[in-house]
């Protein structure tokens, strides 16, 4: 399943997991040891993060290491950048925003 990156980042536990894995690739059990959450709960979070392409898996024997995929985070950065540039130019840009949002109209 394809998932929205922002939605994947919405959960604070998932953000913490990302920070952990950003520092070092880890197995689900290793991740779970750092949280109150159970292994299964963590496993579900890892699945969500994987579906958002924020993580990749690397099987090694019976262990599965989850690695970070840094590319996907740039998508968030780009949104923020767009947002900020919009702020900078304000009113002048309203037409452009309207144009870009056109497909969301009824």
Partner DNA sequence: TCATTGCGCAACCAAATGATTGCATATATT
Partner DNA sequence: AATATATGCAATCATTTGGTTGCGCAATGA
Is residue 28 within 8 Å of 46, Cβ to Cβ?
yes
CA distance 34 to 32: 5
Cβ nearer to a second copy, comparing 62 with 88: 88
Measured from the CB atom, the residue of 23 and 62 that comes closer to a second copy is 23
The pattern of x and - marking residues 52 through 71 that bind DNA according to CB under 7 A reads -----x---xxxx-------
Give every CB contact of residue 9 below 8 A, 6+ residues apart in sequence: 15, 18, 76
Distance CA 53, CA 17 (A): 14
Judge contact between 34 and 21, C-beta under 8 A: no
The item of DNA, a second copy, none sharing an interface with residue 67, based on CB under 5 to 8 Å by kind, is none
91 binds, among a second copy, DNA, none (CB under 5 to 8 A by kind): a second copy
> How many positions of this chain bind DNA (CB under 7 A)?
24
Binding positions for DNA, rule: CB under 7 A: 7, 10-11, 13, 27-30, 37-41, 43-48, 57, 61-64
């Amino acid at each position: 399943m394809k998932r929205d990156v922002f939605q994947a980042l919405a959960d604070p536990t998932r953000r913490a997991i990302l920070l952990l894995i950003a520092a070092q690739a880890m197995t689900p059990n290793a991740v779970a040891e750092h949280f109150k959450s159970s292994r299964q709960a963590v496993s579900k979070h890892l699945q969500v993060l994987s579906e958002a392409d924020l993580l990749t898996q690397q099987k090694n024997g019976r262990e599965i290491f989850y690695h970070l995929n840094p590319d996907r985070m740039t998508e968030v950065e780009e949104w923020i950048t767009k947002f900020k540039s919009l702020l900078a130019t304000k009113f002048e840009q309203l037409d452009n925003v309207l144009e870009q949002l056109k497909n969301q109209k009824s």
